[in-house]
Amino acid sequence: MKKHYPQSRIVKRSYPSHDPEQADALAKDETLRSYKSLREQKSGDRYRPSYHFVNPENTMNDPNGLCYWRGRWHLFYQSRPIEDERLHWGHAYSDDLIHWHDLPNAIFPGPENDCYSGTIMIEHDRAVAMYHGTRIGNMVAIAEDERLVNWSKLGDHAVIPFSEGHDKKAYGIFDPCIWSEDGMYYSISAGIRLGAVEGAHRATNFLFRSEDLMNWEYVHEFIEGDIFTIDGDDGACPYFLPFGDKHILIFFSHMTGAQYFIGDFDKERMKFKPTAHGKFNFGATFPCGVHAPAAFPLSDGDIALIFNMNNGLPQYSFDNFLRNFYGHNRVEQISKDWDVESKKLAWDQIMTLPRRLSLLPDDNVAQSPISAVESCRGKEQKYEDIVLTPNNFVELEGVAGDTVELLLKVSLVNCQSFTVRVLSNPDGNEFTDINIYRNRGKIYRTPDKKNVFAHKIMSTAISKTVRWKSVISVDTTSSSIDPNFAPRPPEVSEYEMDDNGVSTIRIFIDRSVVEVFADKQAALSVRAFPSLNSSTRIQFLSRGSESRILELSCWQMHSIYEAESDHNN
């Protein structure tokens, strides 16, 4: 097994450690000038988001190492620079998790072949990154400077290495998450437990410990008593964090997408026992779905979380997944026009809006967009108390656009379902539907205590309803008439609506992405690729019976790149 791979062809520069010298050096940096030029060139792309983060050049993959350091948020991500398309760690910083400023690539390949996923642990005087170096093992890198632009690899080799005969070892090496407890460093490495038949593996993580970050000892499998994941899942991109009086393990399954466990952490035995489970997307991650997570604690105990999102339209090239949705001849036809020059302006993945996760008393997770997104709001159109007669689409003056936020409070006590149709064209052959179904989800019942049979059986005759889930979905089936668009099946999530049938929905539309938050519980994020310039209409529909829009605000959203400030902020 090869131990060293070539250093990146990208020039790695060293910068002063402190301001004002570091800020001055970055203001003159050639890479950042190139990034600014590329952003300007790509800004006219009809699908390129305006207030979601997208990398400045080429394509990207997972977010990594989200962290808060010296008053700034830092987002790292797997970038593929034009001059060397092996994975580097791209880098941006933000004061508010919404307005991002580019920084030079942070971690470069060599001796590893690619710099894959990992996390960052913040200590008093340094940031410690642990990540997967493909083909050699898990790596550690350290940075101590003002903006985390000067990274050095510990030992310049894998601290948890691959070795000959690794298939005989009890653990796998991939996507590490690092933290410290009582003076000891710990990391979990993503993995699987093999099943008896092909595809029957189950998600797991392998625990390691170290006193010095250099020498790591394997301990055991970390998760105990998982009754939630299914055959075919794996535990990639783990983030293990305290969460209220519990812990949360956020991870990515290559089969079923991003998920989380809520559970109890036994520090004496160093075992994590899940007691609750949830998903961040509700089907396969490809196409157009949420992909890998990156997470970091907020100061109040909540958690900041962000994902990259997969494509549904060939814009840069075919990855190993997207090409599966086309026949061989179609792939060849689509691919023939790509060349070096066109790829310089191409791109194909974005980040979701950062979310705030909060732990609810029943171990469910509340999800809402980071509040700083409200700073992007521009012109507002507002309405109150609008009655929608049944079975007719209604448009409201000033409520339209492809870079907007909708805040909608509706009373659905009578209607059978309620639809917000967005990114629609006048002929109605391109549209994305957000559908709400009151009390159409799971029914939770409790036995009648006065009935002698009720403690052994369940029946509507001898039980009563204690709560009833509502359902929200986003359907991209008709989002584009482009023959190359690959829609995903509708994303569907349950949530608990107000007993009075009132629900508050936030919808974020940003050219090729639609994100929906329902009553600070459910969150749905999908890609949509309307091909017509006229696909900017927003309409409302009450089915079956009337419904009432109690409050509605529509904001035209400003770009987070319009007023790019310099790097001495």
Number of domains observed in the structure of the chain: 2
Domain of residue 300, residue span:
21-311+349-358
Last residue of a domain, which of 325, 358, 391?
358
| Distance between CA atoms of residues 67 and 72, nearest Å | 8
Q: What is the CATH number of the domain that holds 531?
A: 2.60.120.560
Do 144 and 231 belong together in one domain?
yes
Do 463 and 508 belong together in one domain?
yes
Which residues pair with residue 68 across a beta bridge?
73
Do 286 and 353 belong together in one domain?
yes
Do 292 and 380 belong together in one domain?
no
Single-letter residue type at 72: R
Do 144 and 44 belong together in one domain?
yes
- Residue 369 located in a structural domain: no
Report the predicted TM-score, pTM, of the whole model to 2 decimal places: 0.95
Do 285 and 424 belong together in one domain?
no
Q: What SS3 state is found at 381?
A: strand
Q: What SS3 state is found at 238?
A: strand
Q: What is the CATH number of the domain that holds 240?
A: 2.115.10.20
Tens of pLDDT, residue by residue, the chain (569 residues): 557 899 999 999 999 999 999 999 999 999 999 999 999 988 889 999 999 999 998 889 999 999 999 999 999 999 999 889 899 999 999 999 999 999 999 999 999 999 999 999 999 999 999 999 999 999 999 999 999 999 999 998 999 998 777 888 899 999 999 999 999 999 999 999 887 778 789 999 999 999 999 999 999 999 999 999 999 999 999 999 999 999 999 999 999 999 999 999 999 999 999 999 999 998 888 999 999 999 999 999 999 999 999 999 887 666 667 778 887 778 777 777 666 666 667 788 899 999 999 999 888 899 999 999 999 999 999 999 999 999 999 999 999 999 999 999 999 998 999 999 999 999 999 999 999 999 999 998 888 888 877 778 888 888 888 889 999 999 999 999 998 899 999 999 999 999 999 999 999 999 999 999 999 999 999 999 999 999 999 999 999 999 999 999 999 999 998 644 443 34
Q: What is the pLDDT, as a whole number, of residue 334?
A: 77
Q: Residues 144, 126: contact at Cβ < 8 Å?
A: yes
- Residue 512 located in a structural domain: yes
Do 110 and 153 belong together in one domain?
yes
Do 256 and 401 belong together in one domain?
no
Do 80 and 198 belong together in one domain?
yes
- Residue 227 located in a structural domain: yes
- Residue 9 located in a structural domain: no
- Residue 46 located in a structural domain: yes
Q: What is the pLDDT, as a whole number, of residue 317?
A: 66
Do 386 and 534 belong together in one domain?
yes
CB atoms within 10 A of CB 455: 10
- Residue 5 located in a structural domain: no
Do 189 and 145 belong together in one domain?
yes
Do 27 and 61 belong together in one domain?
yes
- Residue 335 located in a structural domain: no
- Residue 567 located in a structural domain: no
Per-residue tokens: 179 = 């933290």
What is the DSSP track for 441-500? S-EEEEE-TT-TTTTT---GGGEEEEEE-EEEEEE-TTS---TT--PPPPEEEEEPPPTT
